[in-house]
Copies of this chain bind each other. A is one copy, B any other.
Amino acid sequence: MNTFGRNFRCTTFGESHGLAVGAVVDGCPPNVPLAEADIQPYLDRRRPGKSPLASGRQEADRVEILSGIFEGKTTGAPIALLVRNRDVRSEDYDALRDVFRPGHADYTWQAKYGLRDHRGGGRSSGRETLARVAAGAVAIRCLEPSGITVRGRVVEVHAATDPETMEAEIRAARDAGDSVGGIVEVTASGCPAGLGDPVFGKLDAAIAGAMMGIGAVKGVELGEGFGAARFFGSEMNDPITAEGFSSNHAGGVLGGISTGQDIVVRLAVKPTPSIRKAQRTVDIAGKEREITVEGRHDPCIAPRVVPVAECMLAMVILDAMLEQGKYRGFGAMG
């Protein structure tokens, strides 16, 4: 299932070391001004190779809009977004052809499909998120006239919470041939109350599904999240005043529907599974092997999860607005 969303539908395709990755966005409202320049900055943020701490893969990742735009505006027709792959060093992966990397999808995809494209993780590569980001950038553009913005950041790395210590943790892990996990927080501001569709289309359920579907994410929480388990009801409930809610422990969702406050989501990101440290595994014949994963890998994937989480959240919100008929759009269009 490579399609996400019910009204704003994003279908992604492409493998890490294939010809291209891309997305088709269907259900985009008409009359939205859109050009490659609206999408490219989000791809650039997601791109590896931007800091000495990140993976060294150097790709331009230039997006091309193939359809759905006429005279600078969306028409309601599907928008095909294409990014050709470059700088593909498949030979790096030859050693991994018949071996299952621990912590990766290698073993499970083999179990499911009976065969797999092992080069760079193939379809299960983090590179697939590039297509989500391209589609999400379209959603973010659509949300502009509604005054809705989405912002994410890394709030924790290996228990550290201030930027300097976080960076030190990443550096230490890299130097040890290891990796570390972290926590990402994403906030959507400006959402109207009333988004989400009970009982099985709740906004928080849609967000949880979207976020847990990002590779390396092992947990999702809204508002107080797991902390709520330690609250009294009298602490957790957000009082309502004539000016609105006076706190936001709920994280912007009650009964599965948006309250109009900030929607606050946190994601637990596991350590990058690709590490140079030796690990025990088996090959496709079941024979035990020791593996050290070479190649270019981020020692902490949390920073690169940020734009992906933002884009997924934007798509969920736009989808809900379209579902509820709350999308108003640009200018005169109905």
Contacts and interface: CB of A to CB of B under 8 A. Distances in A.
Chain B CB count within 10 A is highest, among A200, A202, A204, for A200
B228 A123 contact: no
Nearest to A77: B123
Interface string A211-226: 1110100111111111
Chain B CB count within 10 A is highest, among A179, A232, A240, A253, for A240
Contact of A105 (B158, B254, B273): B254
Contact of A117 (B11, B21, B77): B77
Given A70-B116, A194-B112, A279 B237 contact: yes
Q: State the oligomeric state as a number of copies.
A: 4
B116 A67 contact: no
A173 B14 contact: no
Contacts of A193: 107-108, 111-112
Nearest to A322: B325
Given A117-B70, A272-B233, A334-B325, A240 B4 contact: no
A92 B332 CA distance: 29
A78 interface: yes
A255 interface: yes
A80 B158 CA distance: 39
A223 B218 contact: yes
Interface stretch (A37-45, A47-55, A139-147, A281-289): A281-289
A271 B179 contact: no
Contacts of A111: 193-194, 257, 259-260
Contact of A112 (B181, B257, B281): B257
Given A70-B117, A108-B193, A229 B26 contact: no
Interface residues of A, number: 143
Contact of A218 (B115, B178, B226, B238): B226
B105 A236 contact: no
Given A13-B79, A287-B242, A231 B114 contact: no
A197 to B, nearest CB: 5
Given A70-B117, A205-B212, A255 B104 contact: yes
Nearest to A20: B66
A20 to B, nearest CB: 5
B219 A22 contact: no
Contacts of A275: 233-234, 237
B255 A13 contact: no
B269 A228 contact: yes
Given A24-B24, A199-B12, A180 B66 contact: no
A124 to B, nearest CB: 5
The 3 A-B residue pairs with the shortest CB-CB distance, nearest first, are A105-B255, A1-B201, A209-B209
